[in-house]
A and B are shown apart, each in its own frame.
Chain A
Amino acid sequence: MKLKKILNDQRVVLTLLTIGLFIFFGLRNSAFFNVDFVIYPLLRDGATLTVIGLAQLCVLSIGHLNLAVGRMAAVSALVAGASYQYWGLTLVQGAILGVLAGALLGAITGWIIVKSQVNAFIVTLAMDFALLGLVTFIYVTFTGATAAFTTKPAGMDYWRSKSLKDFCVAGICGPKSIPMMLLPAIICLILVSFMFSRTRLGRELLSTGSNLRAAKLSGIPVENRVMTAHIFSGTLAGIGGLMLAYANGSFTAAIGSQVMLPSFLGPVLGGTLLAGGAVAVLGTFIGTMMTLVIRQGLSVQGIGLETLNIALGLVLLLALSVGQIQKMFTSIKLRGKK
């Protein structure tokens, strides 16, 4: 009975599936177990994509979506990069400035949605286009052909390449496979999870997502909550953008251009409802890791890009159906034993 209940939890199923896939790929090709070339980068990418997934999750919680996550990440990297290159700020100062830029963009987006009453889909889509133009324009104007800010503040490479192995307490060091980049992701996971599961703010966000009219009539300041969700989204996208830039080693317009669709995969695979009202924070991490394991696993098998994408699509479809299939089983049970 208890085991059944545990197996009914989508997160447990996903975790088992991810680990299973990981071992499967490793057994087929032992190159997949290589720490330096596979596991470390996998976890580092996972960390970044998780944070961006959380940015998406924050707006999904109220039933909105943010098609501009990637571009918000780009702006944040741009601001940080410029601050290092031209104003000589330290790593932390620039990072703070970058994240603030993300938050500001989120606030502007939220404000437009509230005031114009236009669907978030349209507003963030427009935002995405506008920011794409802006970001490219700025890079080209200021750096010409290089189209990148290349100044690295002290400590940037630490995040890019260090692992727990370099983090020693009383002579005992951590494993080499765990990148330092996982640290900010874990902090974000804990904070976001705490907010949604325990605090009033989280409850108000979820209520707004569950039934907007009921939330409004219950005295919840729904317009403020729409703003809040988008500010959180922008902030997390900003953090994600910085992580992308640090991992990349320079600040370019291409940062964040690949993350919009993946940002939905993690949360949705994890069990977040697109319609709002329920989020899966830890699930976002697990879901993200699963997509990465599949992608990396298939490419280590030497599968060509097209085949890889087809296979990836199929596996994702299957994984996304896990929840649906489970629901079907429970509803059969509900409908009668026969």
Chain B
Amino acid sequence: MSAELLINKVSKEFPGVLALNEVNLTLTGGTVHALLGENGAGKSTLIKIITGIYLADSGSLKVSGQEKRFHNPIESTHAGIAVVHQERNLIPEFSVEENITLHNPPLKLGIINRKERTRLAKQALETLGFEIDLNERVKNLSVAQMQLVEIAKALVTNAKIILLDEPTASITGSETSKLFDVIKRLKSQGTAILFVSHKLEEVYEICDTVTVLRDGVSVLESKSLADYKQGEIVDLMVGRHLAERKNIIRKVDRKATPVIELKNLQTSLGHRNISLSLYPGEVLGMYGLVGAGRSELARSILGLHAITGGEILVNGSVVKIRNFTEALHNYRIGYVTENRKEEGLFLDFPVRKNISVTILAKILQRLSVINPKKEDDIATKYVDRLGIKVVDNNQLALTLSGGNQQKVSVSKWLAAETKILIIDEPTVGVDVRTKASFHELITELANEGLSIILISSDLAEMVAVADRILVMRRYEIVGDLDNSKDYQNMSRSIMNSIQAV
């Protein structure tokens, strides 16, 4: 097999970090190559160098045997490289169809051929098996749907080389398996595919070869994945042996007054008869497929969408929460968004200011002045606790790796020390080690009395940390299961309740 893409001793330095240090990678046609590594290891940086977003400081790049140096993404697209970046790059005001065909819209006499465009976009979505309205504006889509559009956009191009940077981070199992069907077909047609993911089960399912990065160094270079056990790969990424964690069943007092109770709640978005209780110190999981209405329910509780029927009780009394400010200050409820880039972070602010935003009231000195020392201390506390990889607390959020941005977005809500926390897809793009310590942290916080609603599309995560799992489907709750913390068992019952209705 010929090497479609050859990366030789590529290095890249940012102020304060050597993101890539003489990295080598060989990508062959007809194979799926896994690029693995912890948050901040340099995976996205490598992909951005291949696609001409960054220029390498040194090293060389060969595409189909020819030495190349891309100065911008257009050059790499012309060389037959398609990419799904970790951060979504869609135009919110454009329709799904326009976004999918953005890079090379079909032209007729220099004018966009709309019929052909519709056909192309439709075909792309159909081959992927995704059902999304072609005329919907992207800004109205859910995060997962946007991700699907992003994937479709890369796949319409007939590229020889496809780079996928965490394409499955925010979609569920069923969409992932549809994506994998397409990947397998492309592979059989001889396409070279680079696949980045923190979900190792997936990696083993789809990938043939593997490269592991650790702190910018390729510690395993283009080896056959079958020769390595999952544990070995993890140890290579982390640089030491990582012990497995046991799941213990926690005791939750369900006789206590629920901290949050919903009674027959209905919303303007179409939720019907939603009743649930969250008890003190409980971790309540909410599982469902894309479009099940979980995030939308959380946001409705916090006043973002109108409640059209039923009631919400906090600590036993009926309440009306109008916005997030009231939720935070009057009821001590926090919400960690699933959409870190658009809703979770102030990208042009430093890490310090991103973390302190929810607790400004607590770090004031005279004249309502923010105490810089207290602010910095709190930032440092969470940077250490979640292992956020930063040069210092003043590094701009924009320049963090995706997983580290996610940790910052979660940190600000941990810092808020609320009574109730609704966490929406907290570990999207977070590496194996941090994920484990994050799960420990959730359990720890629950033991300290924090009540948590955990929305996650990661079934393993759900089973690892939730005490009870609610299953949602099409804006209704269709299952309420006690978590036995046995993965096989639970995943079967959950799937059953999704399909039962």
Q: A residues engaging B (CB < 8 A)?
A: 198-201, 203-204, 206-207, 210-211, 213-221, 277-278, 334-338
Q: Other than the known A200-B360, A206-B349, what 8 A-B pairs have Cβ atoms closer than 8 Å?
A: A199-B369, A207-B349, A217-B324, A217-B337, A218-B324, A219-B324, A221-B325, A334-B14
A residues near B349, Cβ cutoff 8 Å: 206-207, 210, 277
CB of B328 closer than 8 Å to a CB of A: yes
Which of B54, B342, B353, B370 contacts A336 (CB under 8 A)?
B54
CB atoms of A336 and B55 under 8 A apart: yes
CB of B344 closer than 8 Å to a CB of A: yes
Q: Max chain A CB contacts within 10 Å: which of B14, B323, B327?
A: B323
Which of B57, B367, B368, B412 contacts A218 (CB under 8 A)?
B412
12 contacts between A and B (CB under 8 A): A203-B370, A210-B349, A211-B342, A211-B345, A211-B347, A213-B343, A214-B343, A217-B335, A219-B327, A219-B358, A337-B57, A338-B57
Interchain Cβ contacts within 8 Å, total number: 81
B residues near A204, Cβ cutoff 8 Å: 360
| CB-based closest 6 A-B pairs | A219-B328, A336-B55, A210-B346, A335-B55, A221-B325, A200-B360
Q: Max chain B CB contacts within 10 Å: which of A206, A215, A335?
A: A335
B residues near A218, Cβ cutoff 8 Å: 324, 357-358, 412
Which of A211, A214, A336 contacts B56 (CB under 8 A)?
A336
CB atoms of A217 and B370 under 8 A apart: no
Bound together, the chains give a CA A336 to CA B61 distance in angstroms of 15
CB of B68 closer than 8 Å to a CB of A: no
Bound together, the chains give a CA A277 to CA B360 distance in angstroms of 17
Bound together, the chains give a CA A210 to CA B353 distance in angstroms of 12
Q: B residues engaging A (CB < 8 A)?
A: 12, 14-15, 54-57, 323-325, 327-329, 334-335, 337, 342-349, 353, 357-358, 360-361, 364, 367-370, 412, 416
Q: Contacts A200-B361, A203-B353 known; A336 to B57 CB distance under 8 Å? A: yes
Which of B348, B361, B370 contacts A210 (CB under 8 A)?
B348
Bound together, the chains give a CA A68 to CA B54 distance in angstroms of 43
A residues near B54, Cβ cutoff 8 Å: 334-336
Q: Contacts A217-B335, A218-B357 known; A199 to B345 CB distance under 8 Å? A: no
Bound together, the chains give a CA A121 to CA B357 distance in angstroms of 28
CB atoms of A198 and B324 under 8 A apart: no
B residues near A277, Cβ cutoff 8 Å: 346, 348-349
Q: Contacts A204-B360, A210-B346, A219-B358 known; A198 to B370 CB distance under 8 Å? A: yes
Q: Max chain B CB contacts within 10 Å: which of A201, A203, A219, A336?
A: A219
CB atoms of B324 and A216 under 8 A apart: yes
CB atoms of B344 and A214 under 8 A apart: yes
Q: Contacts A199-B369, A210-B349 known; A338 to B337 CB distance under 8 Å? A: no
